[in-house]
Amino acid sequence: MQSITTRDGTEIFYKDWGSGQPVVFHHGWPLSSDDWDAQMLFFLGQGYRVVAHDRRGHGRSSQTATGNDMDTYAADVAALAEHLNLRDAIHVGHSTGGGEAARYVARHGAGRVAKLVLIGAVPPLMLKTAANPGGLPLEVFDGMRKNLAANRSAFYWDFPVPFYGFNRPGQPLSEPVRMNWWRQGMIGGAKAHYDCIAAFSETDFTEDLKRIDVPTLVMHGDDDQIVPIADSAKLSYKLLRNAKLKIYEGFPHGMCTTHADVINRDLLAFFRGA
C-alpha cells in the first residue's frame, strides 16, 4: 500500500493514478477514498492524475486516537501534497471532505491549487449557534455519538438510507451501495469517527471561505438530508470570492454515487472551463 507518515507518526494511505493535471479527492465521514471510485475512474480516463487519501482514522490509514480535527486533517493533506509535489491541483471535497478541502486551500494551498469544488459540503458551520441560527442543534450530533458508541455496526447500517435518499418515494434501496458504505465505515477506527463528528459539525469555516480566491464550484442537492442546503451551500457561496453555485433538484447527499453521470459531467465542464 502507498502511504506517507506524518510528523506525529500517523500513516496516511493514498491512491495516485495517472498523469496530467492532478485532481485531489477528499472523502466524507466515515468513509474512505473508495467512495470516489466512480469519479477517479472517470477522470483517469479523461487524462487527469487522480489522487485520493484515507483521512487519518478512516479506511486504511492509522486508527488515530488524537489529531482528529480539521487543522490536523488539513495539515495531513498538505504533507501529502508536498510528498507528491502536487501543483496546479483541483481539490474536490464531499461533505466532511469539503471542510477539509476548504481549510487546506485556505491555509496551505498557496501556489499549489488551481480550483476547488465543494459537494454537499459542511461549511460554513453545521452547528446551530447564536450566530448561526439555521444550523442543526447539538442534540443531533450528540445522538450520532450515542448511536456510534452503542452499536457502530447497526448505526452505519441505517445511516446510508437517508444519505442516499433511499427513504424517498420511488427511490429503491440499493443493497450493494448500502453495503459498500457500511464496509468503508467499519474499516475505520471508532475513536477517530467519534471525534470527527465534532470536527465536521462544530468547526467554523467562515474565515477559510473568505480567504479562498481560486475559482470554486459549490454543488449541492436540494434534498440533502445530511447537510441541509440552506445553511451550507447557499451560505458558502456568498462567502467565497470567486464561486459558482449549482443546485440539483431532488438529489441526495450521496449524489456522487447515485447520480455519478451528472456530477462527473458537470465536474469535467468546470475543470476544463477557463
Annotated catalytic, 253?
Answer: yes
Alpha helices for the chain (secondary structure H): 37-45, 70-83, 96-108, 138-158, 160-163, 175-187, 190-202, 206-211, 233-239, 255-258, 260-272
Annotated catalytic, 236?
Answer: no
CB-based burial label for 1 (10 Å; 0-12, 13-18, 19+): exposed
* Backbone dihedral region for residue 194 (phi beyond 0: left; psi -120 to 50: alpha; all else: beta): alpha
The one catalytic residue among 76, 208, 223, 224 = 224
- How far is residue 61 CA from its own chain's centroid? 16
- Cβ(116)–Cβ(239) below 8 Å: no
CB-based burial label for 24 (10 Å; 0-12, 13-18, 19+): buried
- Cβ(99)–Cβ(93) below 8 Å: yes
Beta bridge partners of 127: 136
The one catalytic residue among 95, 201, 232, 236 = 95
Annotated catalytic, 224?
Answer: yes
d(CA 40, CA 270): 16
CA-closest candidate to residue 120, choices 218, 206, 46: 218
Q: At 271, list the grid cell.
A: 475543470
Beta bridge partners of 246: 219
CA-closest candidate to residue 247, choices 255, 105, 98, 207: 255
Q: Which residues are catalytic?
A: 95, 224, 253
